[in-house]
Homo-oligomer: A and B are copies of this chain.
Amino acid sequence: MNDTPATALPPTDRTRVRRVAENARYDRATLHAIIDAAYLCHVAFADDKGTHCIPTACWREGEHLYIHGSNGGRLIKWLGKGIDACVTITHLDGLVLARSAFNHSMNYRSAMVYGRFEPVADKHASLAALMDHLAVGRQAEIRAGNDKEFAATTVMRIALDEAACKVRSGPPVDDEEDMQHPVWAGVLPLVQVRGAPVVDPLNTAATPGYVQAWADTARAA
């Protein structure tokens, strides 16, 4: 890894997009944006019981994607062996209703990262970065992890070296001969929005700025 990685992610045999290749993106800016917009990823790996697809929280620091978990869990236990993994993040942005059945699609932003996870030595710094990803400023307010909690937790990361994104946006694309077919065409958007914060019934603390900011940008339920 260089400190200043190339802007482009050279496609490999695994990451070169073949289906609808014009939707492929191999630049780090797109990859970073897709990861940073996500709270969770799906991690695929194979162990002695088969192939698994496990959702887990994720965050990015520089050119790595991070996850964490309980030492004893299947995910951490097996990824810790240095086995191949694939991490995928998908944001669904809408249903694309075309004139022909065949050209129906979805608008989305997805990222796939291939590689092997490695354990992170400085768990304190990385878990603080996770907290920052959830709520900027909260790390200074919470009851920090104690030795027992840190000892029970593993933080792992995968390099953003072998990765590709796929992005579709915009209206349906129909064949010329279908354009006069009398059916509505367009996009039905889907958006992940914030809901109004739900305070714990036993909460006694004042509302911090990041919760107020969440409330200010929340949509009515």
Contact = CB atoms under 8 A, between A and B. Distances in A.
Interface in A193-221: 193-208, 211, 214, 218-221
B42 A191 contact: no
A187 to B, nearest CB: 4
Contacts of A180: 204
A104 to B, nearest CB: 7
A51 B44 contact: yes
A25 interface: no
- So how many copies of this chain end up in the complex? 2
B57 A106 contact: yes
Interface in A68-103: 70, 73-74, 84-88, 90, 92, 94-95, 97-102
A134 B51 contact: no
A189 interface: yes
B143 A100 contact: yes
Interface of A: 13-14, 18-19, 39-40, 42-46, 49-55, 57, 70, 73-74, 84-88, 90, 92, 94-95, 97-102, 104, 106, 108, 110, 112, 114, 127, 131, 134-135, 138-139, 141-146, 149, 153, 171-172, 178-208, 211, 214, 218-221
Interface class of chain A by DSSP: mixed
Contact of A86 (B51, B179, B197): B51
A55 B19 CA distance: 13
13 contacts: A46-B46, A46-B51, A53-B88, A55-B90, A99-B143, A102-B146, A142-B181, A179-B202, A184-B205, A184-B207, A189-B197, A189-B221, A191-B194
